[in-house]
A and B are shown apart, each in its own frame.
Chain A
């Protein structure tokens, strides 16, 4: 529903950056509810392997997706340094496991460039643009579109 607003070139604002493999990604900070450590999850039967399971987040059952598994970034480890970003997307709450959270950056539309077709681990459909901050390239992700997409199988397929 919000796609027309968020697709295309992203508006300027604050972005939370995290690393996945060798790449650095940015997501709209307003979609982030909190960042927490990785807890034991309860497995969900017959779910794809990147869906680690669900956790109890203060009484709310929240599914956890390991983006490292989703994007085939080697064997994931779970220790006290593993970070889960809890996202608030639409009315849903979900968590993503990433390699690490770097920082919060300010990106204005002037240093955000439309993404060319390139071989990112992410499909360009989910990329809003590329930003540059101090020589670092940040891939700005339309996290809402990514998390609600069919391939994440987090949401019920519409009229399936």
Chain B
């Protein structure tokens, strides 16, 4: 059976990059002095998932790196090793290597083999060179239950629900089987089938339950795994009321023993139950009261005496021990000497509380036994706390998987398009209905009202599907800042505010690069070295704040540092050197804008961080390309604030509709400053045809849209209107016939079926179903000016 695995590759790539990202976030948040076990486990799980996935898909290079990574993580989470800062570094480096490998598999450049080798080396070294730590955390390992169990072959029934991605994929299931077969002989009773992920098998194994669960950990959570000793129904019923650890760890040979019991006695199958029960009833059932083993054994023996060789049972604790695959069993089998009962109960019960989250047996039992466990175990706090933590982990993961679905962006876009259509249709309907007599057509009009409200709500919620929280962008910066601060020998703390501010997916993707640039700039030029900060009376540790918020129809993203601020004199000096038109009387705002000029850098030394002077102009261009603006505020000695204003989404634009020569055009409202009715004597005609408008002391180029688009517009200047816009090159006055209104429009591509049109950034569909062009203000301004120029030459 061969399935084309490549269709699953994409899923693997996506999942792996998510795992890598979450691993990185977790690593960065990890408190090195006292790492939380929960976090270590989460990191381990991420690494483990990557390993499992890459193994399944045959990306062995990734498997080998994750394997090394995982080994070290495993030792950490078992507290055999203490976490150290260099380990975090090594983990981060390993994450980078994995990402490079992943990109390679996605068709990117090959990962650096030396880098891979050195990272693996580092991890191996870290994993091996700390033998002392093993003793440092004896808690887990001195527990009898955790000692390697004597090889005792058990037969157990394994039942688990596999997630659909495993049960539906034969390869994944085969992998699971292979992994299980490494640990046990597997006799499959029920194969998972498509959506029904139930998997039942009888295992014959020496491995402990925990080992088996670990094998399955990649496929399903431990609480989805049900492990019971394999037994006949009646025999099982016999143990039904027992504390579960005993049941679960029962070896099948002990079962055989009960099966062979003669039935003539009171202690035949039914009677046995009572008697057997009595054993536990007497012993662990009242453990709080320091049970006397000798007292227990008599209670037990009537049940056990029938068979030969049951002398073991005469020694009550031995009987108990037999059920346990922990060392207790061995001990009892060898020596018949009675042993204080509570010790073994400890062993069993502490084990139980260790795996309290697994539903080994009916749930109410767990609570009962863990109460016992708490009373009996040496350090119940540790154990139960651990169990509790795992519980929490599971709840979090479960919640994540249940509440989100992965959908292709095209599907969402298609939905958005359809809803856009619906809105237009609704507008047309409303238009048509406006002629109806409100008395006669009351119901129709009410219905249309309702329809309009519903479509609007629907549009909003559909648009929100594309919205992603800013944390998607922010989350990458702790790492950038950490690396960069280290490189620059600065102390920097990063703060993020407004992580949940939502932004269109398209914008999220495009804002990352400009923001990275700003952050690097702040770190390199803004925040000073610790000595300098101390000298200035500031905290040696600089703060970089990333902030996102909604303001009206915009998302405002701020990058704030508490560094030295911009040096006005220096910028002016540099600007003069570059021959930019500056004077000493310029406003601060205008001076700060200078740093957005191409090739402008005040850095004396070009570092690999910044200083080449490419950057701020690119940032500005990128952000303007998204329909946004970028502004700077700075005060010397206190820091710099860069403010980016972006529209909420790329798909919707706030537009001002204007009429020119019978056609409707949309001007992005972010570019519009004002509109006014021109007076004839405000217009100054310069040489040839080019005209300027005099508006409140400023001379702005006059651009007629009718001329630019070759339409027959209003010729009489006093009959039309001027719209003052802010273009890339500065302000300009666009001459239009009339203003039609202001509305939100859905941006449609012209290029999909046609090609790029000069001066037009896109098209939209108006309420009446007609197409209107969206004006690219900067391009139109240039066009309008160049239209004038040739005539000037002629």
A contact set with B: CB distance below 8 Å: 40-47, 53-56, 58-63, 92-94, 153-156
Contacts and interface: CB of A to CB of B under 8 A. Distances in A.
A45 B765 contact: no
Interface of B: 417-418, 420-421, 424, 663-664, 708-711, 748-760, 763, 765, 769-773
A56 B771 contact: yes
A42 B709 contact: no
A59 B755 contact: no
A151 to B, nearest CB: 14
Nearest to B664: A42
A43 B753 contact: no
Contacts of B421: 58-59
B710 A54 contact: no
User: Which of B710, B751, B770 lies at the interface centre, i.e. has the most chain A CB atoms within 10 A of its CB?
Assistant: B770
Contact of B770 (A40, A62, A154, A155): A40
A40 B88 CA distance: 65
A45 B754 CA distance: 13
A45 B771 contact: no
A43 B711 contact: yes
A56 B754 contact: no
A93 B765 CA distance: 17
A155 B765 CA distance: 22
Nearest to B772: A42
Contact of B750 (A40, A54, A93, A94): A54
B763 A54 contact: yes
Contacts of B710: 45-46
B770 A45 contact: no
6 contacts: A43-B663, A53-B771, A54-B771, A156-B751, A156-B755, A156-B756
B125 to A, nearest CB: 52
A143 to B, nearest CB: 15
Contacts of B663: 42-43
A44 B420 contact: no
A61 B418 CA distance: 14
A155 B752 CA distance: 10
Given A42-B663, A61-B763, A47 B752 contact: no
B748 A61 contact: yes
A56 B756 contact: no
A93 B753 contact: yes
B663 to A, nearest CB: 6
A45 B758 contact: yes
A63 to B, nearest CB: 4
A61 B754 contact: yes
A44 B753 contact: no
A46 B709 contact: yes
Contacts of B417: 59
Contact of B754 (A44, A46, A58): A44
B754 A63 contact: yes
Nearest to A44: B757
Contacts of A40: 770
B770 A56 contact: yes
B709 to A, nearest CB: 4
Contact of A45 (B418, B749, B753, B759): B759
B708 A45 contact: yes
A92 B757 CA distance: 17
